[in-house]
Structure 1
Amino acid sequence: MDTKPISPKAHALIDYALAGSLLILPRVLGMNKKVKKIYNTEALVPLPYIAMTRQPLAIKKLIPFKTHGKIDPFNIAQFALQSLLPAFRKSRKELIFNIAFTCVAGATVLLTNWNQKS
C-alpha cells in the first residue's frame, strides 16, 4: 500500500498552482526579463499534459496518471539544471526562487501517490 499523502486531485491542484505561480511571481518579484520569458514558457508548456492527465480536475482525461508521474521528473531536472544559466546565476533572487521552486515541485512528485486511482 502506498502511503504517500498527495492524491491525484491534490497533485493536479498543485500543478495548476505551480504553473500559475510561474506566470505571476516573477513579475511581482521584479525578476529580470530573460527569467520572466523562461518562466512564461515553462508555465504554458506543461498545462496541456496537466489538463489531459486522468485526474479529477482534467479537461480531457487522456494521459494515464502514472505516465504523468514519469514526465514530471524530467521537468524537475530541467528546473534544477537551469539554475546554471547566467540569467539565474547572476541574480541571487532568481537563483533562490528557482531552487525553491525546484524543491517544491520535487517534493510534490516524491510525495504523490502515483498508484492511487483518480
Structure 2
Amino acid sequence: MKPLTPRLHGLVDYAACGLMLAAPALLRLGPQARTASYALAGSYLGVSALTDYPPALSRQIPFPLHGKIELGTLPVLLLLGARMEGRDRAYFLGLAGMVSGAYALTDWSADPDA
C-alpha cells in the first residue's frame, strides 16, 4: 500500500508549485534557473489543475496519465541540474529527487475519489 492517494498527491502537487514559484527568490537562483523554475511551476500547475483528482479545477487528465507526465519531467530536471552549477544545480537535482519520491509513494491505480 502506497501512502499517497490521488487527493494527497494533488495537495503535494500544489505545494510543489508554490515551492517552484517561491524558491528562486528564497534561494537566490540565477536568471536561467529562475526562468526554468517558473516555467516548470506553470506546467505543473496546468497539469494539476486538469488532473482527475479532487483538488483539480477541471478533471480532464486521467490520474495514471498525470503520473506519466510527471515522470516525464525527470529527464528535464536532471538535465537542468547537470547543466547548472552550485545552488542552481542542487535545486534542480533536489526537485528531481522530490518528483521521484512522490511518484514512488503514489498509488497510481487508486480511485481518485476514494
Class of the TM-score when normalised by the shorter of the 2 chains: over 0.9
2:41 to 24, 39, 43: 43
Hey, what does 1:58 align to over in structure 2? Answer: 56
State the distance in 2 between where 1:74 and 1:26 align: 22
Of 16, 30, 33, which aligns to 2:31?
Answer: 33
Q: Distance in 2 between matches of 1:97 and 1:60?
A: 30
Tell me the CA shift for residue 33 of structure 1. 1.3
Task: Give the TM-score taking structure 1 as reference length.
Answer: 0.89
Q: How does 1:1-118 map to 2 (within 5 A)?
A: 3-85=1-83, 88-89=84-85, 92-118=86-112
Tell me how far apart the structure 1 counterparts of residues 45 and 69 of structure 2 sit (CA, whole Å): 13
TM-score normalized with structure 2 length: 0.92
Aligned residues: 112
Shift of 1:65: 0.5
- Deviation sequence 1:38-96 (CA, Å, 0-9, x none): 111111012121111110101001111011111111112211121122xx23xx11111
CA distance in 2, matches of 1:95, 1:5: 29
Distance in 1 of aligned mates of 2:28 and 2:68: 33
Q: Which runs of 4+ in 1 moved over 3 A?
A: none
Identical pairs, percent: 26
What is the CA–CA distance in structure 2 between the aligned matches of 1:93 and 1:83, rounded to whole Å? 10
Unmatched 5+ residue regions in structure 2? none
Instruction: Report the CA distance between 1:34 and its aligned residue.
Output: 1.4
Q: Structure 1: where are the runs of 5+ without partners?
A: none
TM-align CA RMSD: 1.0
